[in-house]
Structure 1
Amino acid sequence: MFHRIGQFVVRRAWWVIVAWIVAAIAIIGSAPQLTAQTDESSFLPRHYESIQASLVQEKAFPASFTPAAILEFERTDGGKLTAADQADMNKVVQGLTDKHVAKVEKILPVGPQSISKDGKYALSMIGMEKGAMQKPEAADSAKALREGAKELAQGTALKAQLGGQVAQNLDQQDSSKLANALIGIGTIVIILLTLGIIFRSPIIALLPILSIFVYSMVANGLIADASKAFGLKADNSVSAILIIVLFGVGTDYFLFLMFRYRERLRAGDDRKTAVVNAVGRVGEAIASAAGAVIVAFSVLILSSLGMFTALGPSLAIAVGVTAIASVTLVPAILSLIPEKVLFWPSKAWQREPKNARFAAFGRTVERKPTLVAIASGALLVIFSLGSLGYQGTFDLASGSMPKTKESMVVQDTLMKAFSAGAADPSHVYVTTEGGGKLDQAALTGYIGELGKVDGVAQVAPKPTMSTDGTTADITVMLKDAPATNKAIDTIDGLRKVAHGSAPEGTKAYVGGITSIYKDINTAMARDYSVVFPIAALLIMIILGLLLRSVVAPWYLMAAVGLGFGATVGATSLLFQHVQHEPGLMFMLPMFIYLFVVAIGTDYNILMIARLREEAAEGHSPRKAAALAVQHGGPTVAAAGSILAATFGTMLLAGNSLFSEIGFSVAFGIIVSAFVMSLFFTPALTALLGRAAWWPGHAELAGHGSAPDLKVVEDDRLEPAGRG
């Protein structure tokens, strides 16, 4: 089939190129604007308690005041606040109120209860219109508040800084823009340099960049259309990850095709015939590799978390577009460029290299497959042991921004000067089940029980009552910062007491950001038990269809599982034990799954497909493994190096979230390419022999490899010599 696709693309090259350009312009021109979702609660289904608590709050307290931002005051000389400072703070608050900043509903004056115990810090709580915090305009409001406060504080002894959720969203947005720019530039530079070194040709170095630019517009437009059509919730990290996926995977597939195209030219094919045979030979591997990645990404639609239900399909669309472009747009361009122009100024493409290093690797696999399998497998197991110490953390703001950002400075001040949980207290909502009014006396004893929970710093002595008297809102401040694991553990005890000690005839719900993190943690555990097994099963089916085997998929997936464990282990060792981070970002294992398990499978597929091709030529299992490593090794090494380096650019972003993702995925890709694909998988296949291909081994015995073709004058295809 792929030979036929190659022939069509070669015959209609200009039509294919024009079709892609027209599609890119049409799709991007009609696509809606893709906006980011920043509300953590929106990522959870309604059956979780934290979401039920928010629904109770909306119904019973429609005008409740939940601070969207916090204005923090302190003296510029670090001293205690004076009566004159109190007057200046009220002037700043009144001045901001008079500005009527868009989306801002109220700004509370500084009162005695909002001054720290040491008298050095004071807070003014700022509320926004309902639902405004999740809109892009909220960042503009935060910017106006921040600039207005600083302007009004000029000429006083005060320093005013803005913190809280919308301020963090604003700072995170600025950090994300910088991160995206650094990642995009770094990725392009790496691709240009690496391809330039490999092929010694500026045209080949530029070719994937230009083609990816065209079909990335198609991918982004389709993602925006899908997000609008299915109500998917985007996350701030999606855009940076999309850049890397499009350029990383696109370059991978370009290399798969380019190495085989050059190989066919060296075998004596003319340019068009070489393109047709290159597509015919690696098209199935590209389609299978993309299919495995698309399946792995698409299964995230089963996730409980909105972040992943949006991210998975988005990345699946991007990879699907990349795969189609790799067997249509890229071959069409290659077929139009004369070889001497394409490879200029290098002439090395005309000579078959000895591939001495990879030939040596192949001979090692051929002679000592048992030793190679044990050594490479042991390396994976050793790193996997490090995953036993994995600890997750939910402090996304600290993880995704430098500590010097203003909202982070305010957060640190709140934790030091006030209760660590004061920045975002928890809430216990108690509501009657029969519709009657709550018993105030019973609530007094209930509040006392809540205050005894280990990890609770303070409980408001008087609850806020709904207008009909059926629901009470009890504010609970925790001893630990809202996003810490200790605070999340406290929610377990708080929920147990809140439910068990609730007055008769009432029902209690624990809400707040820490409760949301607790439920996200539960949802992640559920996702791991559902998403991973289903994705593994579907990828195994794809591998089985590609290899015509029910044996090979099992050990290939076992190798991928070891690669996943080794990646989590190495990342845990580096960040938790060497850099002494309190934990890794809670979603990191899912990102490792996305890129190490899904994309890393590409290299296994390419290598095992080449190994099967060599076996179909009549070579013994060990010889086939040696030839696969010799001829496929350079492709895997080049593709793995570029993809690992592109993810490594995330280390330039300057925050721990991207640093953890960048390191872990780069490490996982290196393991997938240089340990699994070059050594572990070929060695195991050599040891299993023809049994690895059962029940398709009969086909191999009959030399079932599809023949190469040549393009004759009337554009028909005829069998060609192997070359």
Structure 2
Amino acid sequence: MSGRGGRVTLVALLVVLAWLVIGGVAGPYSGRLGEVATNDNASFLPADAEATRAQELSKRFVDDPIVPALVVYERTAGVTDADRQRIAADVARFAEIPGVVGPLPPPIPSEDGQAVQVVVPIDDDRGEEIGTVVEELRDVAGADRDGLAVDVAGPAGLLADLIEVFSAIDGTLLLVTLCVVLVILLVVYRSPVLWIFPLLAAGMSFGLASVFVYLLADAGAITLNGQAQGILTVLVFGAGTDYALLLVARYREELHRLERPWDAMKAAWRGAAPAIVASAGTVIVSLLCLLLSSLNSNRALGPVSAIGIAATLLVMLTFLPALLLLGGRWAFWPRRPLVGRADPRTDGIWSRVARFVARRARVVWLVTSVVLAASAIGLTQLGVTTLGQSDLFTERTESVAGQEAIARHYPAGTGSPATIFTTQETARQVAEVAQGVPGVAAVRPVTDAPTGPPAPTAPPKVVDGIVQLEATLADPPDSDGAERAIRDLRVAVHAVPNSRSVVGGFTAINVDTADASRRDQNVIIPVVLLVIAIILALLLRAVLAPVLLIATVLLSFAATLGLCALIFKYVLDFPGVDASFPLFAFVFLVALGIDYNIFLMSRVREESVRRGTRAGVLTGLAVTGGVITSAGIVLAATFSALAVLPLVVLVELGVAVAVGVLIDTIVVRSLLVPALSYDIGPKIWWPGRMSRADGEREAQRAG
């Protein structure tokens, strides 16, 4: 036995050393993901939308595609001659900044004399370096001076602020996530040693995932943006800690039963691995369903997150068991599990919960279902709308301040017009129709004039028989009013015979993104549900149980969105949610929420084979209650770490996943599913053989 134990220890040591070498190579890549991330507008643009066609047509009218930055100077008492001299000097310096496409058009004074706007075209090919160009513009313009407020806004200013937000992901978000996981593990294990193993394994998972994501993104095989990068961090640490908690709990349980640690780990691995593999597989396949999306940003999130879960699964089933074997029973000090001593979980709070469920099974599942359904009523307050620029950040950024200043003194769409491409023959008619659309302030053709607005009699520029018109909108380009104007504008110009009109621009991109998000929800959500049902049917070898589990998760999802709608509106004071929020919330909540049901029901099935279904339900709940609750708290806390990023979209997603996971863990998995399974009894496994054999056994016991 000692020889066998020595061989097992040697193998475990070699596995740990091999992973440490891999970690040494992979570790630096976790800090380099920002190098291959892209956060420009193109990474979020629908692939086959009208705005995309407009963007392609626009390239014919310019030698170099540009992204405008809008520098706005504002003095409420009226712009002075000294201010105008300062603005002229700034314009000359703007033109000298690398990346600025000159010559610059002349400054545009407002009609009320209180503001001056300078449009600074920036080379679009610079990608994320646009952020650096904007920072140089802000340095040149300087801070507010003697009552003259200066802000850099427009699409380029917004992009620069987004890049600054996402730059915090590599450091701030990772540090906060690590601290959250560390604190929870210390509370859960109450051991100065044991927390090291799950945290080290989670860090190894993140490093391994970062390598693959970095290499694939660098090769152009996948697209990585700041949103996917942030979710990858919290997902790997959250899911990885969940899997670790499940394996460690099962290992502790087997150490109470078996003398040798390697025998205990073998039994624990066999018991926990199927549930962990099924859980990870469910999440991976659900995330890969995002590849069906028509939005590049959604398609980017799917494979990036799936890679993270796959890496986590590999590490947690190899590296972590080897670490635990080397630690032996001493890893659990000062509460070392001893053979023959009862596992405290078998007679703790979860045993009392199990007995309560057994006494009031039908009442429990009926009451919990009604409470969840009542919580879903809050969905009526969930206003699904694309967040405007002023609503995108939790803090007031310079691009937001500049856009507000522009809205006060100009037609709010100035500097970010809608673009209309039409045939030369119908250009005049299309312009007249566009001018009559509510919400359109002005329409003018693009001419060959190098700078400034064209002369009234200047002929339009014609390229391949196509003319470009610019429609200035009355509302801010990211507002609901501007989006309504774009929809009305498209209807109007498309109705002009033989015009072949195409409408694009910043607002049109938002409109097409919202439409694509609604299409994605209708396509992807049913596919995810079907995939999860198949995986559960294979795992549980039943049909009724998977259907009921999915129904409980859907009820939990509706309740979560209802509660989140109230939190967003009355607690956080957010104006609404992004168009992509329902889909992202669904994929993460359903895929992660079903995990806890998998952890529970796989153990229930294992116990039902030996004890019968109803006894198996109670035993499964008693022995998994503590670990699954801890896992839910860890995952909820890690996603809550997204709140450190000042971006409303990620804060809303973090809050939704945290609330949903807690509901799944505390209500659905602890009360609703066990009570429903106990009340139904052996038929829960229909049409499998267990539903008949278990039924006969329980009938004999009753007789």
TM-score with structure 1 length normalisation? 0.87
Name the aligned partner's letter for residue 332 of structure 2: F
Quick check: 1:691–1:697 contact (8 Å CA) kept in 2?
Answer: no
Name the aligned partner's letter for residue 72 of structure 1: V
Deviation of the 1:159 alpha carbon: 4.4
**Deviation sequence 1:342-396 (CA, Å, 0-9, x none):** 1223457765215432112111221222111111111221222222442223236
The one of 501, 504, 508 equivalent to 1:508 is: 501
Q: Quote the residue 1:120 is aligned against.
A: 114
The one of 569, 574, 577 equivalent to 2:567 is: 574
Aligned ranges 1:394-433 → 2 under 5 Å: 394-395=386-387, 397-431=389-423
CA distance in structure 1 between the aligned counterparts of 2:645 and 2:197, rounded to whole angstroms? 27
Quick check: 2:110–2:410 contact (8 Å CA) kept in 1?
Answer: yes
Q: Quote the residue 2:140 is aligned against.
A: 148
Deviation of the 1:672 alpha carbon: 1.2
Quick check: 2:418–2:508 contact (8 Å CA) kept in 1?
Answer: yes
CA distance in structure 2 between the aligned counterparts of 1:65 and 1:695, rounded to whole angstroms? 62
Deviation of the 1:177 alpha carbon: 3.4
The one of 469, 474, 479 equivalent to 1:479 is: 474
Name the aligned partner's letter for residue 375 of structure 2: F
Pair 462,536 (structure 1): closer, same or farther in 2 beyond 3 Å: closer
Q: Quote the residue 1:497 is aligned against.
A: 492
Pair 12,227 (structure 1): closer, same or farther in 2 beyond 3 Å: same
Deviation of the 1:560 alpha carbon: 1.5
Q: Quote the residue 1:598 is aligned against.
A: 591
CA distance in structure 1 between the aligned counterparts of 2:73 and 2:539, rounded to whole angstroms? 64
SS class of match (2:119): strand
**Deviation sequence 1:495-541 (CA, Å, 0-9, x none):** 1101112xx54310111111111111121111111111111111111
Q: Quote the residue 1:709 is aligned against.
A: none
Quick check: 2:289–2:527 contact (8 Å CA) kept in 1?
Answer: yes
**Deviation sequence 1:549-578 (CA, Å, 0-9, x none):** 122111111112112212222111221355
Pair 196,130 (structure 1): closer, same or farther in 2 beyond 3 Å: closer
Quick check: 1:89–1:110 contact (8 Å CA) kept in 2?
Answer: no
The one of 326, 329, 342 equivalent to 2:319 is: 329
Quick check: 1:370–1:687 contact (8 Å CA) kept in 2?
Answer: yes
Q: Quote the residue 2:700 is aligned against.
A: none
Name the aligned partner's letter for residue 344 of structure 1: W
Name the aligned partner's letter for residue 537 of structure 1: L
CA distance in structure 1 between the aligned counterparts of 2:6 and 2:547, rounded to whole angstroms? 35
CA distance in structure 2 between the aligned counterparts of 1:506 and 1:445, rounded to whole angstroms? 9
Quick check: 2:282–2:532 contact (8 Å CA) kept in 1?
Answer: yes
SS class of match (2:142): helix
CA distance in structure 1 between the aligned counterparts of 2:477 and 2:93, rounded to whole angstroms? 31
Name the aligned partner's letter for residue 120 of structure 1: Q
CA distance in structure 1 between the aligned counterparts of 2:148 and 2:621, rounded to whole angstroms? 68
Q: Quote the residue 1:674 is aligned against.
A: 666
Pair 469,246 (structure 1): closer, same or farther in 2 beyond 3 Å: closer
The one of 419, 433, 452 equivalent to 1:449 is: 433
Q: Quote the residue 1:715 is aligned against.
A: none
Pair 612,221 (structure 1): closer, same or farther in 2 beyond 3 Å: same
Deviation of the 1:21 alpha carbon: 2.7
Q: Quote the residue 2:50 is aligned against.
A: 49
Aligned ranges 1:265-664 → 2 under 5 Å: 265-340=255-330, 342-347=331-336, 352-353=343-344, 355-395=347-387, 397-431=389-423, 438-439=424-425, 443-460=427-444, 465-468=460-463, 470-501=465-496, 504-577=497-570, 579-619=572-612, 621-664=613-656
Pair 356,212 (structure 1): closer, same or farther in 2 beyond 3 Å: closer
Quick check: 2:518–2:579 contact (8 Å CA) kept in 1?
Answer: no
Deviation of the 1:158 alpha carbon: 4.6
Quick check: 1:107–1:127 contact (8 Å CA) kept in 2?
Answer: no
**Deviation sequence 1:425-454 (CA, Å, 0-9, x none):** 2111112xxxxxx24xx5444323212222
Quick check: 1:110–1:122 contact (8 Å CA) kept in 2?
Answer: no
Q: Quote the residue 2:36 is aligned against.
A: 35
Name the aligned partner's letter for residue 306 of structure 1: N
CA distance in structure 2 between the aligned counterparts of 1:494 and 1:575, rounded to whole angstroms? 32
TM-score with structure 2 length normalisation? 0.90
Deviation of the 1:477 alpha carbon: 2.1
Quick check: 1:479–1:487 contact (8 Å CA) kept in 2?
Answer: yes
Name the aligned partner's letter for residue 635 of structure 1: V
Q: Quote the residue 2:181 is aligned against.
A: 191
Quick check: 1:294–1:319 contact (8 Å CA) kept in 2?
Answer: yes
Name the aligned partner's letter for residue 128 of structure 2: P
Name the aligned partner's letter for residue 286 of structure 1: I
Quick check: 1:393–1:484 contact (8 Å CA) kept in 2?
Answer: no
CA distance in structure 1 between the aligned counterparts of 2:65 and 2:622, rounded to whole angstroms? 67
Quick check: 2:66–2:124 contact (8 Å CA) kept in 1?
Answer: no
SS class of match (2:226): coil
Quick check: 1:138–1:166 contact (8 Å CA) kept in 2?
Answer: yes
Quick check: 2:364–2:671 contact (8 Å CA) kept in 1?
Answer: yes
Quick check: 2:557–2:586 contact (8 Å CA) kept in 1?
Answer: yes
Pair 205,20 (structure 1): closer, same or farther in 2 beyond 3 Å: same
Q: Across the two proteins, how many residue pairs are aligned to each other?
A: 675
Deviation of the 1:149 alpha carbon: 2.4
Q: Quote the residue 2:451 is aligned against.
A: none
CA distance in structure 2 between the aligned counterparts of 1:27 and 1:458, rounded to whole angstroms? 55
Deviation of the 1:459 alpha carbon: 2.6
CA distance in structure 1 between the aligned counterparts of 2:182 and 2:463, rounded to whole angstroms? 67
SS class of match (2:611): coil
**Deviation sequence 1:139-158 (CA, Å, 0-9, x none):** 2222222112228x98x875
Q: Using the TM superposition, name which of 360-369 and 638-647 deviates more.
A: 360-369
Name the aligned partner's letter for residue 681 of structure 2: G
Q: Quote the residue 2:70 is aligned against.
A: 70
Report the identity percentage: 29
Quick check: 1:610–1:628 contact (8 Å CA) kept in 2?
Answer: yes
Name the aligned partner's letter for residue 468 of structure 2: D
